[in-house]
Amino acid sequence: MGAVEDGFPERLSSLVGIDIRTGSHAPCFERVVIEFAGSGALPGYRVEYRQDPIIDSPRGEPVDVAGDATLVVSAGAWMPNPDGDGYDGPREIVPVNVETILELEQIENFEGMTMWAIGLDRERRFTVETLENPSRLVVDIALD
């Protein structure tokens, strides 16, 4: 399964990430949503499977992500920004409302870039889209 990319890493955004959440749309897919706030265009993004070791940037340390497959979501926006605006939740999330998404872990928030590792039970097909009002980056992970 190849990467899905749009304007990454060139398109940096003045938006700031304020939330990351999961949802189940069984029997078809499970969803990860990164929500942004502020003014400006959506950031560029890249979503791809990566093999272990998953590295925390900029520390360079390996990160243990639950599951047998890791989907990494990279976006050209802070989450939160250096002033502390934006996301103030945990960097490691074990969602309880989904079954195939085992963990979300923020592995980068540096120099205007954020990256989240999505630990899955196995590699699955995925699609990526952006939505407005509010601005969101949406990753749908197939259940079949």
**Residue in 118, 106, 95 with CA at minimum distance from that of residue 21:** 95
Q: What pTM was computed for the model? A: 0.96
Give residue 45's pLDDT: 98
Give residue 63's pLDDT: 96
110 close to 85: Cβ distance less than 8 angstroms: no
pLDDT mean by block of 10 residues, the chain; 144 residues: 93 97 96 96 97 92 97 97 96 97 98 97 98 97 95
